Amino acid sequence: MSTATADLHDAPAEPGVNYLNASYGIRSWLLTFDHKRIGLLYLASITVMFLVGGIAAVLMRIHLVEPQGALFEPETYNKMFSTHGIIMVFFFLVPSIPATLGNFLIPLMIGARDVAFPKLNLMSWYIFITGAALALFATLSGGVDTGWTFYPPYSSHYSATNVTIVALGVFIAGFSSILTGLNFIVTIHKMRAPGMTWFRLPLFIWAMYATSLIFVLGTPVIAITLFLLGLERTLHVGIFDPAVGGDPLLFQHLFWFYSHPAVYIMILPGMGVVSELITAFSRKKIFGYSFVAFSSLSIAVISFIVWGHHMFVTGQSIYAGLVFSVLSFLVAIPSAVKVFNWTATLYRGSISYEAPMLYALGFIGLFTIGGLTGLFLASLATDVHLNGTYFIVAHFHYIMVGGAVMAYLGGIHYWWPKISGRMYPDLWARISAAIIFLGFNLTFFPQFMLGYLGMPRRYAVYPAEFQVLNVLSSAGASILGIGYVIPLIYLTWSMRYGPVAGPNPWKATGLEWTIPSPPPTENFAEIPVVTEDAYNYPVAEAHKYPDAPGVARV
């Protein structure tokens, strides 16, 4: 809990008892059942993991400034990108928005006093911490060199590194995801306040519901897969060893059955956050509520039938490849529905450019680039050319960093007044949002070009003609790194010194803005009764633009 919780006790932002000053001391945090405090425990822990994964990324980019590699032996470089991938995917991106903002906001948004199973919620944090500690231990005590995908035989016969410990850490952390997803599903089904019907829910809740479905349905499969891998390594029984009748491709099928949906675990919550931000800062009802809501569910469903597009060149049948290609194109439909509906919501809204909105607009642009380049990879012929190159790296970073991390930061900024009771310095927040946007594009756009020119990923060295683009990418990474450090500083600063925010600094709709900031431990003095749709922004403002789409007409 390095950043978020240390100074929160001092000087309550508003008079009265809230969840931060209701009790003091380390025990009151480590034994809390309060969903808001558990959200902050996650926030602090994944911030640490983000820093670890980020340091690995920075070292990689420094190494790649020179064609022959500036820092490491190739073996060490392998460990760097493996650490970066494993930590960032399993210990930052997967829990990022669900475990922090989801935990904090779901009960507030649906009008409940807590999640359905508070003890289970705390338990899932401890499980996560156990898994994360194992992964960190494995990293520091020698590392792992398989890449985040753990493909056998790299991970079974040909690796003398800490594969078993890392796999065990990921296995354990998976149960934290499962329990979080279970808790959210039950909470959203059973804990909604009177009048909070499914179609009055904020779209963030729909996104969290879709994400939870993937948690519950996908994570057990990666768990059993890593279990089999662990047995293969410890007992040498040959499940994935062709020499004794095993099939390494089976591992890839099982792995991607989880890990492709896991991509949507990372992006769906971000889409939910963006739906909240776009409406709040254009002061309009979302355009096509039910389309946006159902597009989340359909992304979750389709995500389970596209995993083969990771295996076009691994020797799966060409007919399977055709089917997976077509199915992968389908994902573009609900994704595009969201982008179009956000854009239509902006149309003739009264838009203001506070920091969270900058992140949301950045998300829409970067996610669109990431999504469209995904279509290149879903087509069989272009994938054969682009597979295993930096084009892939650039594509999924546009989704995971340009998409998921931008939305995460936008959400953290938007709800920070609710979480801490304080405002952050708006100018600094806007500056850092701009730095992150610029740094991100400078880092990853050159990688599209590198990949198209044929530079393979996961190599410690590269031909000299790729140096200019690599230096640009590394320069962008250093700018991006600075962009991430600035919010860490001013958000920490604002916990003690920021101006008091008040219950609803953005004049936003939603139940979470009707209660004090920070909220009291029991959230609502009286359970609210909901009588209106989500995003019911004042009609008076909308009347200035009577023909704008999505404007409520009365």
Partner 1 sequence: MLRGWPVSEMAAHSAHPPGFAHQFETVEQQREAGTLGMWVFLVTEILFFGGMFTSYIIYRSLHLQSFIQGSHELIVRFGATNTAVLIFSSLTMALAIRSAQTGKSKGQIIFWLILTMILGATFIGIKLRFEWYRDYVEGLIPGVSWLDGGTHTPGVKMFMCFYFFMTGLHALHMVVGLGILTVLVIMTARNKFSSQYYSPLEISGLYWHFVDIVWIFLFPLLYLIGGRYPGS
In the complex, the residues that contact partner 1 under the rule CB under 8 A are: 112-120, 178, 181-183, 185-186, 189-191, 216-221, 223-225, 227-228, 231, 234-239, 244-247, 250, 254, 257, 522, 527
Closest CA to 35 of 93, 94, 98, 121: 121
**Smaller CB separation from partner 1, 527 or 530:** 527
CB of 206 to partner 1, least distance (A): 17
CB of 106 to partner 1, least distance (A): 12
Task: Tell me how far apart the alpha carbons of residues 327 and 358 are, in angstroms, rounded to a whole number.
Answer: 33
Chain centre to alpha carbon of residue 547 = 36
Q: What does 259-278 look like in DSSP terms, one character per residue?
A: HHHHHHHHHHHHHHHHHHHH
DSSP one-letter code for 495: H
**Smaller CB separation from partner 1, 67 or 520:** 520
**Smaller CB separation from partner 1, 119 or 553:** 119
CB of 314 to partner 1, least distance (A): 16
**Smaller CB separation from partner 1, 108 or 406:** 108
CB of 215 to partner 1, least distance (A): 9
Buried b (16+ CB within 10 A) or exposed e, 34-48: bbbbbbbbbbbbbbb
3-state secondary structure of 456: strand
CA atoms within 13 A on the CB side of 9: 8
Task: Tell me how far apart the alpha carbons of residues 294 and 164 are, in angstroms, rounded to a whole number.
Answer: 39
**Smaller CB separation from partner 1, 71 or 182:** 182
**Smaller CB separation from partner 1, 38 or 274:** 38
Which two tokens mark 249?
A: 């491709």
CB of 190 to partner 1, least distance (A): 4
CB 274 within 8 A of CB 407: yes
Task: Tell me how far apart the alpha carbons of residues 99 and 106 are, in angstroms, rounded to a whole number.
Answer: 10
Task: Tell me how far apart the alpha carbons of residues 409 and 503 are, in angstroms, rounded to a whole number.
Answer: 21
Q: What does 159-193 look like in DSSP terms, one character per residue?
A: --SSHHHHHHHHHHHHHHHHHHHHHHHHHHHH-PP
CB 348 within 8 A of CB 541: no
**Smaller CB separation from partner 1, 242 or 499:** 242
Radius of gyration of the chain (CA): 23
**Smaller CB separation from partner 1, 8 or 185:** 185
**Smaller CB separation from partner 1, 247 or 541:** 247
SS3 content of the chain, % helix, strand, coil (to 5): 65, 0, 30
CB of 524 to partner 1, least distance (A): 11
Which two tokens mark 187?
A: 């909470």
CB of 164 to partner 1, least distance (A): 14
**Smaller CB separation from partner 1, 226 or 292:** 226
Which two tokens mark 328?
A: 């992968």
CB of 245 to partner 1, least distance (A): 5
CB of 179 to partner 1, least distance (A): 9
**Smaller CB separation from partner 1, 114 or 512:** 114
CB 79 within 8 A of CB 192: no
User: Residue 6 CB: number of other CB atoms within 10 A?
Assistant: 13
User: Residue 418 CB: number of other CB atoms within 10 A?
Assistant: 25
CB of 257 to partner 1, least distance (A): 8
**Smaller CB separation from partner 1, 64 or 228:** 228
CB 518 within 8 A of CB 19: yes
**Smaller CB separation from partner 1, 111 or 411:** 111
Per this entry, what is the length of the chain?
Answer: 554
CB of 299 to partner 1, least distance (A): 19
3-state secondary structure of 500: strand
CB of 180 to partner 1, least distance (A): 12
Phi-psi region of 179 (alpha: psi -120 to 50; beta: other; left: phi over 0): alpha
CA atoms within 13 A on the CB side of 493: 11
**Smaller CB separation from partner 1, 152 or 417:** 152
CB of 235 to partner 1, least distance (A): 3
Task: Tell me how far apart the alpha carbons of residues 388 and 397 are, in angstroms, rounded to a whole number.
Answer: 14
Task: Tell me how far apart the alpha carbons of residues 46 and 287 are, in angstroms, rounded to a whole number.
Answer: 33
The alpha carbon torsion through 160, 164, 167, 172 (nearest 10 deg) reads -160
> Alpha helices, DSSP H only, in 23-148?
26-30, 35-63, 74-88, 96-97, 103-110, 118-140
Which two tokens mark 172?
A: 């354990």
CB of 90 to partner 1, least distance (A): 18
